Amino acid sequence: MKKRTDPKGPSQRQSRVAELVRHALAEVLARGDIQDPVLSSHVITVPEVRMSPDLRLATAYIMPLGGHDERPVIEALDRNRKALRHEVARRVDLKFAPDLRFRRDETFDEATRIDALLRSERVQRDIGGADGETTEDPS
């Protein structure tokens, strides 16, 4: 699970800039503006970007569609970091173009883990009530 260093969360400006950077990255990756065989052969989602308080570092959480080839995709993004930063700077009007850092988005794994817990026999037994009946609709 991802942890934030600031207990208050990001400021409104951080959130707004992060969303602009996320949209710019997603557009660059979707349009294929970066010529890389790994990036060209994958559909990459960018569910979240987090900005540092000074807006100079953007951490982009990415996931290739289907969750396959995560390591090669992140390596390709790291290899093309300079070109991606340039493309983001063209699309987002900021005083400084943020440095880009790419991380694997773990929210899908966390959702799968929670779903498995909710479907576990122990939880189903607890949901069913004291007499063991389930609350599912029989029809």
Boundaries of every domain in the chain:
12-128
Residue 115: HSE in the Cβ half-sphere, 13 Å Cα cutoff: 6
pLDDT at 132: 46
Among 36, 21, 30, residue whose Cα is nearest residue 91:
21
- CB-based contacts of 13: which residues, under 8 Å, 6+ apart? 55
Model confidence band, residue 113 (pLDDT cutoffs 50, 70, 90): confident
The answer to which of 61-70, 75-84, 89-98 has the lowest mean pLDDT is: 61-70
pTM metric for this prediction? 0.72
Among 47, 33, 35, 51, residue whose Cα is nearest residue 99:
51
Q: CB of 74 within 8 A of CB of 104?
A: yes
Among 28, 37, 32, 16, residue whose Cα is nearest residue 94:
16
pLDDT tens-digit series, residues 11-58:
999 999 999 999 999 999 999 889 999 999 999 999 999 999 999 999
CATH entry, 12-128, from 3.30.300.20, 3.40.50.300, 1.10.1060.10, 3.90.1650.10 = 3.30.300.20
Q: CB of 73 within 8 A of CB of 38?
A: yes
